Structure 1
Amino acid sequence: MNDNTSMGNGASQQNHLNGQWQGQPGQQGQGQYGQYGQPQGGYQQGPPQGGWQQAPQPKKKNWFLRHKILTAILALFLIGSIASASGGGSKGSDSASSSDNSSSDSAAKSDDKKSDEKKSEKKDEEKKDEGDKLPAVGTPVRDGKFEFTITKVERGKTTAGSNEFLQETAQGEYTYVYVTVKNIGDRAQMMSESDQKAFSSTGQQFSTDTSASLALDGDNDFFLTDINPGNQAKGILVFDAPKGTKLTQIELHDSFLSGGVKASL
């Protein structure tokens, strides 16, 4: 009897322990996990309080990121179009600049031409004024040991000399310049016709035609003739110039080293 009582007491204690720690099915108590655990009788079924939460959806990429190859092609196309437009504009600008430069060059050349023409006209006027100021025909002029006097000028001659075997024919036309030369020095001096020069109204320079001068035979005393101090000699200086060319000045020298003196024709 004592044994049964002991066994009954043991069972009650065991049940008390089980009820304290594990609890009975269907009852809410501390259970296996104590006051922090779930209700006795196991886990509750069903969704958690507040309902199920839907998982977040991944963000969609934009069109350009999803089509990288097409995006790269479009980018290259746009870059090429911009470069082409820029190049065309540059060419147009270059063409305009080239046209402006050409116009400027043409205007500059035209101005230079006009300037040259004005200078030429001014030069001709100066020469004309100079010719007007030069000693006229019949006025003595001096250079070195010689005093020269132009006594007459004949133009438009086509031949020189009366002897048909010695006669000379002009390439253009002859201008005869009759000159008297006097030695004003203190020693003999030879008059050389090859040292004399004539000029046209445009400034062209002409030398004497020695062959034509020799063809004039007795009318010319200048060929290899020394003129003594105080004496004088007469002769004709012959210049061959194109037809229509008027010789307006003559430059006379007592030798090829002298400075010369000018006179009007």
Structure 2
Amino acid sequence: MSQNPPDQPPFASSQPGPHGSPYPPPAPKKNFFVRHKLLTGVGVLVLLIVVISTATGGGGTSEDSNTAGSAGTATATGSTPNGSAAAEPTSAAAPRPGIGAPARDGKFEFVVRGVRDGGTTIGPDFMAERAQGRFVLVDLTVRNIGNEAQSLDVSSQKVLSTKGTQFSPNTTATISVDDAAVFYEQINPGNALQLTIAYDLPTGVDPAEIELHDSLFSGGVTVALR
């Protein structure tokens, strides 16, 4: 009977056993997705978001975009969605009062009774006032609609030509025409004063408007004379 050498451990043989290698086979490597479950989950979520965003076209179809663009164009051109033109706001200024219509400024209500030609001279022959051009006479009624007396300043009543040129009264001619037109005539509440104011206008210039004031510094009201 043979025996193993004294220095060799028992059963140590380099020959494989009847069932293969004497060493256990290495453990199989796990799949990448199994080893990285967190990364895999994040990747799937991102991919799902991209797919949904692509499928919905970013929140609207091309038809919706075309419709929105058409609506924006219609709005920009001032048209309504049904193709009709949008109504633009109108800002028509209120018509100015004319001859015979009351016009108010401050404590006074003015009524222009008429406008007439005054010729080239006014007053008695020996002290007549001669016009540089020709005289235009404006007949007025002034009523005090306030609660206290107010003085009328005749020199504050201005006539304007069709080109907007402003003309002041001729004081001497005004007094010669109507001595009631005393400057700074005081009018009590409820009372009215009738007077005629004379203006010296260049030949060929016609009065278009008169700007009436209850005082020197009031805003004034404009009355059409034509």
1:254 aligns with 2:205: no
Looking at structure 2, the residues matched to 143 and 158 of structure 1 have their Cα atoms a distance apart, in angstroms, of 32
The answer for the alignment partner of 1:243 in structure 2 is 203
Higher radius of gyration, 1 or 2: 1
Between structures 1 and 2, the one with greater helix share? 1
Count how many residue pairs are aligned between Structure 1 and Structure 2: 134
Letter paired with 2:125: E
1:170 aligns with 2:131: yes
Cα-Cα RMSD: 1.9
Contact 1:222 1:233 in 2 (8 A): no
Looking at structure 2, the residues matched to 170 and 180 of structure 1 have their Cα atoms a distance apart, in angstroms, of 25
1:140 aligns with 2:102: yes
Shift of 1:159: 1.5
3-state SS of the aligned residue for 1:186? coil
Letter paired with 1:183: N
The answer for the alignment partner of 2:191 in structure 1 is 231
1:79-228 alignment to 2 at 5 Å?
Answer: 133-155=95-117, 157-161=119-123, 163-218=124-179, 220-228=180-188
Residues 156/230 of structure 1: CA separation in 2 closer, same or farther (3 Å cut)? closer
1:49-68 alignment to 2 at 5 Å?
Answer: none
Deviation track 1:30-51 (CA, whole Å, cap 9, x = no partner) reads xxxxxxxxxxxxxxxxxxxxxx
Residues 212/156 of structure 1: CA separation in 2 closer, same or farther (3 Å cut)? closer
Greater RCO structure (CA 8 Å; 6+ sep): 2
Counting aligned pairs with the same residue, the percent is 44
Residues 185/143 of structure 1: CA separation in 2 closer, same or farther (3 Å cut)? same
Contact 2:154 2:181 in 1 (8 A): no
Structure 2: gaps (5+ residues):
1-91
3-state SS of the aligned residue for 1:256? coil
Contact 1:156 1:243 in 2 (8 A): no
Letter paired with 2:197: L
3-state SS of the aligned residue for 1:176? strand
Letter paired with 2:132: Q
Looking at structure 1, the residues matched to 129 and 182 of structure 2 have their Cα atoms a distance apart, in angstroms, of 18
Deviation track 1:118-149 (CA, whole Å, cap 9, x = no partner) reads xxxxxxxxxxx98x932110001000000000
Letter paired with 1:259: G
